[in-house]
Every structure is written in C-alpha cells, then in structure tokens.
A and B are shown apart, each in its own frame.
Chain A
Amino acid sequence: MDEEYDIIILGTGLTECVLSGIFSVEGKKVLHIDRNDHYGGECASLNLTQLFRKFRNGEAPPEALGRDRDYNIDLIPKFMMANEELVKALVYTDVTRYVEFKLVSGSMVCRDQKISKVPATVGEALVSPLLGFFEKRRAKKFLEFVGNWKEDDIQTHNGLDLDKHTMTQVYEHFGLDTNSQEFIGHAMALHLNESYKTRPARETIERVMLYVTSVARYGSSPYIYPMYGLGELPQGFARLSAIYGGTYMLDTPVDEIVCDSDGKFVGVKSGNDTVKAKLVIGDPSYFQSRTRTIGKVVRSICLLEHPIPNSDNADSTQIIVPQAQANRKHDIYIASVSSTHCVVPKNFWVASVSTIVETDNPIAEIEMGIKLLGPIKERFDIVSDLHVPTETGAESQIYISKSYDATSHFVSVFEDIKDIYKRITGNELALSKRPTAEEEQAAFESNR
C-alpha cells in the first residue's frame, strides 16, 4: 500500500470506471477503491440479498421471488441510445467483448391515460394515433427536415438558424400543434420539462437527430440494454482498466482525503495506510463537504409478474408520461426490462418509475406512473439528492463527478466524463481504437 499512483479513483460507478479504463489504457497508474463490496456505486445492479439489505434492513427475501443470483436490479434506471457517445466509447475500447446487448422493444408515450408507440420515422408518423390527419403531414415535414439536415448545406436549413431561433419558433415554422410538440419535445428529444422551448433550437434538433439515428441503427426502438443489467457497464470498464494494469480494491473504507497546507490533494487514508497520488477522482459520496445539492429524484423499483399492461406484452419498454399529462412540471419515466435480459427470473418483469421531485411528498408524485403497472409484487422506493461539485479541481486536484440525473439515457453521464477528462488533462477526450479480441489474439500469436 505504500506505492505511489498517478490517479486514485473513489467509487466504481460508471463515470469513475470509464475514466479508470481510459486513463489505464493511456498508461497511467491507477488505484481504484470502493467502500462497497460490489462494483457500481450508485448505479450498481443488485441481487435480491443486496436489495433487501439496502431497502428492507436485511430482511430475508421471500422464497417466492426465487434465486438470489437471478436478480440484477438497477438502482438507476436508464437505457442507452444506440447512437449515443457511451456506445461509441464501448465500441472503441472494445468493452463490447465483455458485455452483450439487446434491443429494447418499445418506446412509448402516455396520452389521455392511453399508451402509444412514439413515431420515429416518417412512415410511423403517418399512421400514429397520436397525430390528427393534418398534423400527420406537418410532423412528416418536420421529420424530413431533421433527416435531411446538413450543417454545411444552407438549402437544407429551411431558413432556420438553430442557434438563433428558439424551439417554439421552429414549431411555429412547421405549424406543429401542442400534441406534436409534446411527443417531439418529450418523447423524442427527451426533455424533462418545458424550459427547452425558449432556448435556441439546436439542442432539441440534435436530440431528435440522436433519437432518429438511434432508431435507424436496429429498428423498432432507439434504446439498447446490457444483458445482466446496467451494472455490467462499470464492471466492463473496470475490467478494461485492470487489464491495462489498474489495481482494484473493493470493500475498502475511505477514512480521509489528505491534503497539504495549500489544500492540494496528497493521498487517501484507509485504516492506518495513506496511499499517495497526483490526483483523485471520485463520486460525490466520497466528498460530501465539496458538493452541493441541486435537486431530488424519486425512483420506485417495482417487481411485476406480468408485462406492463397495454405495452404489447413487451419484454422491455420505456413509457414517458409527459408533464402536462400528469399536471406536473417534469415528466414521469417508466423503464421496464425482464428475464429476457437476465435481470429477474423467468416470468418476472421489473419496472422503474422515476421523476424529478417537486413537492414534499415525492412518492405521491409518481403515482400516475405506478398506476400504469397493474398489480405490484414488491416495491422499493428511493428518494435521492442530486449532487454536483462546488469546485473544478484545478487547485485541489480533486475531481468530483455528478450524481446520476433523472434523464433516461447516458448523454449527461458522458458529458460529465468528457468534462472531468478535460479538466484533468486540458485536452478533449479522443478515444483511440483498441484492437478487437481477434486482433489481439493474432498479435499475441505472431510475436514469439
């Protein structure tokens, strides 16, 4: 333990593990510590025993729920969009060799208590029950505009300047009514509230493009999900880090972050040992005095013995209840996966309902989502604070990640990864392609 490292990383959440993998591949000497005895930190996937330890004071899980190890329940429900940057990072680092993915069957939206598929192609828009007759043609025009958009070809811009015109102006330009605005802004661009409308349109158009290109990758939905749960993602990147020399210590308490008299990071104290490094990266739980709270998220994990009613018996689906449908400021999200993904035993489904907390009674706020699920076998509620760092790390060499927010994908997580990387190195994150397993094997066999 008296070795010195380039980087110490605290917490094995996704953000930390991706950075650990990247820095190890770059040749940095990394020590990665977690106080828990399992990988994943806040975004772990838990088995039954761990779940009951966390939510039911260690009570024994009922026999009827089946075997412990058939469960991998995500604490933070999210799906990956097929074309988002995290997926590119998985491919570039070839972490895909350790993790397998399945397409999420459905992407749905709830209107007037009814669930319908989100139209993502021109063809789907033309038959969607979400849109009236005239509205279908307008939505078609809008989707064609997004599909044809080329940044450097002004002909494709339709007279719009995405950095100047607001999204409201773009909606007006295409004559789209509130129904269409709701599914474009909430079910495709995945905005959690209405504030995007008065901001420049680029952000929203880019999000719609991400949605549309993600649907185009594999068809039927833009979302993909790892076999055995989201906890496989940090594990996969941790494995990458270890293979490139990263050292892992789980179940290790972190007693003190040691700094010198100028407030600059020196090392991490665990028991009687202090391990030194040039800098430290970690999740907010290791640096409570250096973070602040910017909001709360409520998440309810529900075990079901049936697929979500009216979801076409989907083995997996996302359902968005837009804020206006629930008389709220923020949307309610439902994410459901099943035994198909090896996260619950056969004949079980798991559905997580979540939203940003607006009142003193968060559990009541997700009630409308809960009602869509039918009978619930077991339910675990979590209300968590969203933490952000109060410093950039430039002076202290202490780099703190953000809590996982209420969004349903990993765009903001990857933004945070890129931001921390840049704060540390001064450079933009540019991943170089790691050889595939086959290429590595060939190289290994040829060098005698």
Chain B
Amino acid sequence: MNNSNPTLRPRQYQFKLVLLGESAVGKSSVVLRFVKDRFDEYKESTIGAAFLTKTIALENGDTVKFEIWDTAGQERYKSLAPMYYRNANCAVVVYDITQTTSFERAQSWIQELKKQADSNIIIALAGNKIDLSDKRTVSTIEGQNFAEENNLLFFETSAKESTKISDIFTQLANKLVESRAIVAEAAAQQQSRAQDTLNLNNRNAGQGSDTCAC
C-alpha cells in the first residue's frame, strides 16, 4: 500500500492520528467537520464509530490517508489505554477557548504524549470554539506561546463555522511527509502489517480447511 519508492509519483502515505483533549471541547466535532464537513449542535457522543479515515491530496499530487482515533470518552476519567497512543504518528490536542481548565488539561495531555508516544510524533494544538469569542478566557497569545515553546503546530478553530479545521490536517500532512523519520516509521509499520501479521478475518487463510472445531 505504502508507495515509498521516491522516484514514483504520486506517493501515498498513511498515518495514525490521535485526538486528545478534555471532554466536550469538540474533538468529535472537529473530526466530523473534517471528514464529512458537517456540524451537529446537539450531538450525542459518537457511538459505534470512533475510528475513521480520510484521505487528502497534497499540492504535488501525493495523498495522505489519516487513520483517525477519537477517544470514545475514555479520556473522561483519565482512562485511555496505551493501545491508543501506540504507533501514533501525529496528534491533535484540542481545548475550548472559553474554558481555561481545558487549556490546562491540553498542556498535561502534551506532556503525556511526550511520555507515551513515539518521540518523533508531530503534535497540533487547536483552540476550538472561536465562534464564541465573547466568552473567551484563553487568549490567542497564551496558546501561541505554549505551542512555540513545545514545538507544536497551532490553530484557533471553530468546528461550528468551519474555521481552520482543514488547515490543521493539511499542515499536519505536509509536516509529516517532510519528516523522513516519520515516513520511514509509518512505512515500516505498514510493511510489517502486510508481511507477517495474520489476517484473522480471512476465513480461508492458511493451507487447510476451516472446519469448525466445536
């Protein structure tokens, strides 16, 4: 799948992206806007599908497929599993510009990522809900400074009004493909997946018949 031969164009990349942030900051809304260009005002938590993909094209014709992991609410009581961070190539940490605690929480998520995730991981920080600027409690400069100090991409977004949402993902995509380490890592992951891991879903796998043992 991953076409890593540098002389062949266009190239196709695939990256795992994890979303992090306090409950109700708009993580699922950011994904919904990005994947379906839609917004739900009174949305229940996404039940049944917190794992989606979206492919975007870069200017040079290469494509980047994001495998998006949403927390499914497991972050609410700090109960995310290590599985969630495993092999993540990039992360979007979201806070709500009207909730100071969510900004503090975003900072601790970033520390957590540095501890748990791959050291090359690329992180974007998104201050969401800027359509509610009259209730703003976290200033742009605070977010920006924190992002600069920690070498993060920074955006102020609105999933509701579709402000800067696609920018997060295109900038992440560009930065990811520029990083040789990450491209190599993602390619190696996919290769190992293709090569010697088993496809359990394929009922005809192996040489023998698949008669029931029960």
Q: In the complex, what residue of chain B is closest to A39 when comparing beta carbons?
A: B81
Q: Judge whether A161 is part of the interface by a CB distance below 8 angstroms.
A: no
Looking across the interface, which residue of chain B has its beta carbon closest to that of A234?
B81
Closest beta carbon of chain A to B22's beta carbon, Å: 15
Q: What total of chain B residues lie within 8 Å of the partner, measured CB to CB?
A: 40
The yes or no answer to B48 lying at the interface (CB within 8 A) is yes
Q: Which residues of B contact A437 (CB under 8 A)?
A: 51, 53
Evaluate contact between A85 and B214: CB separation under 8 angstroms: yes
The CA-CA distance from A102 to B194 in the complex, in Å, is: 11
- Select A216's contact among B50, B116, B200, B206, beta carbons within 8 Å: B206
Q: Which residue of B lies closest to A25 (CB)?
A: B48
Task: Say yes or no: is A252 at the interface (Cβ < 8 Å to chain B).
Answer: yes
Residue of B nearest to A411 (CB): B213
Interface flag for A87 (CB, 8 Å): yes
Interface assignment of A367: CB less than 8 Å from any CB of chain B: no
User: In chain B, residues 1-56, which have Cβ atoms closer than 8 Å to a Cβ of chain A?
Assistant: 35-36, 38, 45, 47-53
A249 touches B51 (CB 8 A): no
The residues in B between 163 and 214 inclusive whose CB is less than 8 angstroms from any CB of A are: 193, 196-198, 200-201, 205-214
A76 adjacent to chain B (CB < 8 Å): no
CA gap between A252 and B48 in the complex, in Å: 26
8 Å CB contact of A206 from B79, B193, B213? B213
Chain B 53-82: CB-based contact to A (< 8 A → 1; otherwise 0): 100000000000000000011101111011
Collect the chain A residues with CB atoms within 8 Å of residue B135's CB: none
Contact B197–A213 (Cβ < 8 Å): no
B114 near A: Cβ within 8 Å? no
Per-residue contact bits, chain A 102-134, to B (CB 8 Å; 1 contact, 0 not) = 110000000000000000000000000000000
Q: Is the beta-carbon distance between A251 and B78 smaller than 8 angstroms?
A: yes
Contact B48 A102, beta carbon cutoff 8 Å: no
Cβ contacts A355-369/B at 8 Å (1 or 0 each): 000000000000000
- A83 B74 Cβ-Cβ under 8 A: no
Q: Determine, out of A92-100, A162-170, A184-192, the stretch whose residues face the partner at the interface.
A: A92-100
Question: Which of A99, A238, A248 gathers most chain B CB within 10 Å?
Answer: A248
Mask, A237-276, CB within 8 Å of B = 1, is 0110011110111111000000000000000000000000
Chain B interface (Cβ within 8 Å of chain A)? 35-36, 38, 45, 47-53, 72-74, 76-79, 81-84, 86, 116, 193, 196-198, 200-201, 205-214
User: Which residue numbers of A lie inside 8 Å of B, CB to CB?
Assistant: 38-39, 69, 82-85, 87, 90-91, 94, 96-103, 206, 209-210, 213-219, 224, 227-228, 232, 235-236, 238-239, 242-245, 247-252, 436-437, 440-441, 443-445, 448
Query: Can you list 24 residue pairs at the A/B interface with Cβ under 8 Å?
Result: A69-B116, A98-B83, A101-B197, A101-B200, A103-B196, A103-B198, A210-B213, A213-B211, A216-B210, A218-B206, A219-B207, A235-B82, A239-B72, A239-B74, A242-B74, A243-B50, A245-B73, A247-B77, A248-B74, A249-B77, A440-B49, A441-B49, A444-B35, A445-B35
